[in-house]
Structure 1
Amino acid sequence: MRRLGLRTRVTAAFAVGALLLAASMALVSYELTRRSLMDERERTALRAAYFDAAVVRAGLDTDTPDVVEVLRSLDTGGSRRPVLHLNGEWYARAADPGTTAAIPADLRRIVTAGDPAVQRVRIDGQPALVVGVPLSATATYFEVNSLRELEQTFQVLALALTTVAIMVAGSGAALGWYATLHGLRPLTAVADAAEKIAAGDFTARLDPATDPDLTRLSSSFNQMVDQLAHRIERDRRFAADVSHELRSPLQTLAAAASVLARRRDHQDERTAVAAGLVADEIDRFQQLVNDLIDLARSDQPAHRAAVDVAAVARDACQAHDLPAGLVRLAPETAQVWHVERRRIAQILANLLDNAVTHGGGASLVWLGRDGDAGVIEVDDEGPGVPVEDRAAIFGRFVRGRAAHTRGAGDGTGLGLALVAQHAAAHGGHVSVTDRPGGGARFRVTLPGSLS
């Protein structure tokens, strides 16, 4: 499972934190507001019920009371419904069995026992508040107060608080994104500088004055890059110096071997064979020294210029006694690429040499594009490269199972390493896959070559 990025996690943390805080405040606010409004409504209902009960008691205190008329004389508005229980009979302003049936039995017993009481009920699915007031031993007065408007107020309040909580969570997410966007800028600068350094640009540095809190990080990073650049330059110079120093004795040995080769007809068979082996090893040694010099220089950034890559590929084929017709240019792909000519020529030469030496011969050199990246593919007719060896063969001096199974194993072990190094100098990479129909396909991708 892919782990979320730091910016996403921080933004989510801000959003969740803001949501939890807003939700907690909303719940507390809702509960306090609801309790306050409900308590106030109960107090108001009690005062009104006591007042109306006094009116009803006065109306009943006559010789021939008209109960219904007494109830109708009450100013209860549309939200209160008076009900009187007198001598075992229920009286109301109009026939309303639902109201009397909704009065809980427990509430009636309490009021009949002489104690006032309040209870919340639901009538036809609507909330209501029932207030009971004892009038006498045979009479109890009840008022049913509708709480529908109060419940609607609670719904509006809940909706408003929920909306506010969501808005606060969104604001928290936006704040987290903004904070990480600015807070991670120094890390982005470090990543950009590291990418430039990985591509061979050792001039990349961080500005210690950008963020006072990251001065130590910037200084340490710059010091590390300085030491790394110094060590790489020292190693590069060492390899170049050693290679150059080896050239002089090698040239002397090559001249001596050339003399022996010219006098082979005057030598006995064993001497001639020995002289031939010496000449072959000197040639291989010279190629190794040349590859080491190229490798020492290959860690520098590529110096791009307009290059006719198709012409370079044809020249490379002719140098290996291969037909120029092997070079194929994909449709809508320009012949001129923005690359370093020397590096591309060596990439093609090394891949063709690898195909001839280890792959049974080259069958195709394909030049195409992938977006703004130029793509070079070289196919061979050999047995291919085992999957477990496909990453290792681009290492330096790798002459293991893959090399020995694909050819005689008489190379320097640096050809494919140079291909990988030259591709990296262009910001690209090299890979190997199976060619359809058999064989290997080496693919070099060079970003920005066709932009």
Structure 2
Amino acid sequence: MNIGTKVALAVAVAAVCVASAVGLLVHRITAADQLASARSDMDRRLMSAVYDQAAGRKSEARLDPPDLPAAVSEAVRRGVRVTYLQDGPHPVLWAATRVSDRTVLALSRPYGCEADELAELDRTLVTTGAAATVVVSLAGLALGVRMGRRARAAAHTAERIAHGDLDARIGPQGRDEIARLAASVNAMADALGARLEAERRVTADIAHELRTPVAAMVTATGLLPPGPAAELVTGGVHKLRGLVEDVLEVARLDADAVPMETETRQVSAMARRAVAGLDAAEGVVGVRIVTDALAETDPRRVERILTNLVANALRHGAPPVTVEVDVERDRDGDGPVVRVRDHGPGFPPDLLTVLTTSGPQRFRTGCGSAGTGLGLTIASGQARLLGARLTFRNHPDGGAEANLRLTGDDA
């Protein structure tokens, strides 16, 4: 149950309680005033009838009426002058007094008119209370819906910020707690954006400063005499150079400082070029064309994405690795898709949850193996720049699978 419904129900319940209490109070006060006025009038008429009886004049009172209620008779015979309301389908108001030791003088009149007036008052109170409850409930519903809409907007903006949209903000509305929450979310987004920007600058600066000494190390390794030690040092230096270049590329992707050069290319050609660039992929990586297509994109970046995906599959999965080119239909229409699948154990459940919710996390590796963890991060950033969609899953027949959905026309 959302906050709008809760507020509306709370207001409706409060309105019903207030209307019921007010109606009951008005009913009791009116009934008491009505009965007191009628008794006073009957007592006055009874005293007038007593005077008429004493003077021998005819009056509307009766002596010892047979229908006199027993309670009235007993009270009068004890010397009490009584006014008494006899309840029933046809209520009667009595007034009686003793005029001698054994004689009772009594007056009576129907009380149905007052009862009808009270019933009419009750109907009016019920109608008015119901109308007031409906109006107040509608007002509460409007207030609740407005509060719920603002709370949902704040939650939606917070979710956008959590997914990386640091420019998302909540428009200020009012001065209540929700407005304070919105201001706090905006301040959090500002602080988070400033901190991430500082981290990006530091990362880019460090990687840039490392390029020169790493290049010198690469040159120096070429002067080493051949041998196992030279091969070990050379391999480590080349991995270090690749890591520095990857860090620089991640920094450029984070800053969106990457130029785009789009052209129309066959998806199959880009897939083959991406695989051809992997020296270690000979004999363990195959390209399968189900349906070829043309795509309007930046081919260099598509090849970079596919190269990273295949390299990640070779490093953390198990051969053979299959690169499949096909065309699939979704809500956006037909579009080329490239599937990269290995035959390893697949993504661990916790990593797959991260990949499907927030995307690849830098320096987090897949399948429990060692590695820098930047390959999928770079692939995801390049896909974002291309307007492509990169998704991950575990194939039903085993192995990890990455799907790159491009935009284009069937070939």
Q: Per-residue deviation at 1:129?
A: 3.7
2: CA distance, partners of 1:21 / 1:426: 62
Q: Per-residue deviation at 1:383?
A: 1.3
2: CA distance, partners of 1:255 / 1:188: 56
Which residue among 365, 372, 397 is the counterpart of 1:412? 372
1: CA distance, partners of 2:17 / 2:383: 51
Please tell me whether the aligned partners of residues 252 and 258 of structure 2 are also in contact (alpha carbons under 8 angstroms): no
Q: Which residue of 2 aligns with 1:277?
A: 232
Amino acid in the other structure paired with 2:120: T
Please tell me whether the aligned partners of residues 14 and 175 of structure 1 are also in contact (alpha carbons under 8 angstroms): no
**1:133 partnered with 2:96:** yes
1: CA distance, partners of 2:245 / 2:261: 26
SS of corresponding position for 1:383: coil
Deviations 1:335-390 (Å, cap 9, x if unpaired)?
879x9887766554433332343233246567767756999875443212232443
**1:108 partnered with 2:73:** yes
1: CA distance, partners of 2:307 / 2:196: 26
Please tell me whether the aligned partners of residues 127 and 151 of structure 1 are also in contact (alpha carbons under 8 angstroms): no
**1:157 partnered with 2:124:** yes
Q: Which residue of 1 aligns with 2:317?
A: 359
2: CA distance, partners of 1:213 / 1:22: 28
Q: What aligned pairs does 1:317-328 form with structure 2 within 5 A after superposition?
A: 318-320=273-275, 322-325=286-289
Q: What aligned pairs does 1:303-318 form with structure 2 within 5 A after superposition?
A: 311=266, 315-316=270-271, 318=273
2: CA distance, partners of 1:419 / 1:213: 44
2: CA distance, partners of 1:239 / 1:250: 16
Q: Which residue of 2 aligns with 1:93?
A: none
Deviations 1:259-305 (Å, cap 9, x if unpaired)?
77xx9xxx5xxx1x444434433332232122211211232469999
Please tell me whether the aligned partners of residues 362 and 379 of structure 1 are also in contact (alpha carbons under 8 angstroms): yes
Please tell me whether the aligned partners of residues 201 and 301 of structure 1 are also in contact (alpha carbons under 8 angstroms): no
Please tell me whether the aligned partners of residues 81 and 98 of structure 2 are also in contact (alpha carbons under 8 angstroms): no
2: CA distance, partners of 1:369 / 1:304: 29
2: CA distance, partners of 1:427 / 1:42: 89
Q: Which residue of 1 aligns with 2:201?
A: 237
Q: Per-residue deviation at 1:149?
A: 1.0
1: CA distance, partners of 2:189 / 2:55: 101
Q: What aligned pairs does 1:142-181 form with structure 2 within 5 A after superposition?
A: 142-143=107-108, 145-147=110-112, 148-174=115-141, 176-177=143-144, 180=147
Task: Call closer, same or farther: CA 1:161–1:413 in 2, change over 3 Å.
Answer: same
1: CA distance, partners of 2:349 / 2:324: 21
Single out whichever of 30-39 and 172-181 deviates more from structure 2. 172-181
SS of corresponding position for 2:364: coil
Which residue among 349, 363, 369 is the counterpart of 1:397? 363
Q: Which residue of 2 aligns with 1:29?
A: 26
Amino acid in the other structure paired with 1:385: F
1: CA distance, partners of 2:120 / 2:14: 28
Q: Which residue of 1 aligns with 2:280?
A: none
Task: Call closer, same or farther: CA 1:305–1:58 in 2, change over 3 Å.
Answer: farther
Please tell me whether the aligned partners of residues 19 and 169 of structure 1 are also in contact (alpha carbons under 8 angstroms): no
2: CA distance, partners of 1:237 / 1:20: 62
Please tell me whether the aligned partners of residues 352 and 378 of structure 1 are also in contact (alpha carbons under 8 angstroms): yes
2: CA distance, partners of 1:23 / 1:234: 62
Please tell me whether the aligned partners of residues 383 and 390 of structure 2 are also in contact (alpha carbons under 8 angstroms): yes
Please tell me whether the aligned partners of residues 19 and 166 of structure 1 are also in contact (alpha carbons under 8 angstroms): yes
Amino acid in the other structure paired with 1:383: P
Task: Call closer, same or farther: CA 1:189–1:308 in 2, change over 3 Å.
Answer: farther
Please tell me whether the aligned partners of residues 391 and 402 of structure 2 are also in contact (alpha carbons under 8 angstroms): yes
Deviations 1:397-426 (Å, cap 9, x if unpaired)?
2248x332xxxx4x4321233345567789
Please tell me whether the aligned partners of residues 11 and 174 of structure 1 are also in contact (alpha carbons under 8 angstroms): yes
**1:294 partnered with 2:249:** yes
Q: Give unmatched runs, 5+ long, in structure 2.
A: 276-284
SS of corresponding position for 2:106: strand
1: CA distance, partners of 2:9 / 2:316: 54
Q: TM-score, normalised by structure 2?
A: 0.67
Q: What aligned pairs does 1:43-442 form with structure 2 within 5 A after superposition?
A: 43-47=40-44, 85-86=64-65, 90=66, 100=67, 104-123=69-88, 126=89, 128-134=91-97, 136=99, 137-143=102-108, 145-147=110-112, 148-174=115-141, 176-177=143-144, 180=147, 192=157, 195=160, 199-201=164-166, 228-254=192-218, 271=227, 273-300=228-255, 311=266, 315-316=270-271, 318-320=273-275, 322-325=286-289, 346-360=304-318, 361-362=321-322, 379-391=341-353, 394-399=360-365, 402-404=367-369, 409=370, 411-419=371-379, 432-442=392-402
Q: Which residue of 1 aligns with 2:279?
A: none
Please tell me whether the aligned partners of residues 393 and 400 of structure 2 are also in contact (alpha carbons under 8 angstroms): yes
Amino acid in the other structure paired with 1:106: A
Report sequence identity in percent. Answer: 25
Q: Give unmatched runs, 5+ long, in structure 1.
A: 63-69, 75-81, 91-99, 330-334
Deviations 1:74-109 (Å, cap 9, x if unpaired)?
6xxxxxxx98645xxx2xxxxxxxxx4xx6432221
Q: TM-score, normalised by structure 1?
A: 0.62
Task: Call closer, same or farther: CA 1:17–1:397 in 2, change over 3 Å.
Answer: same
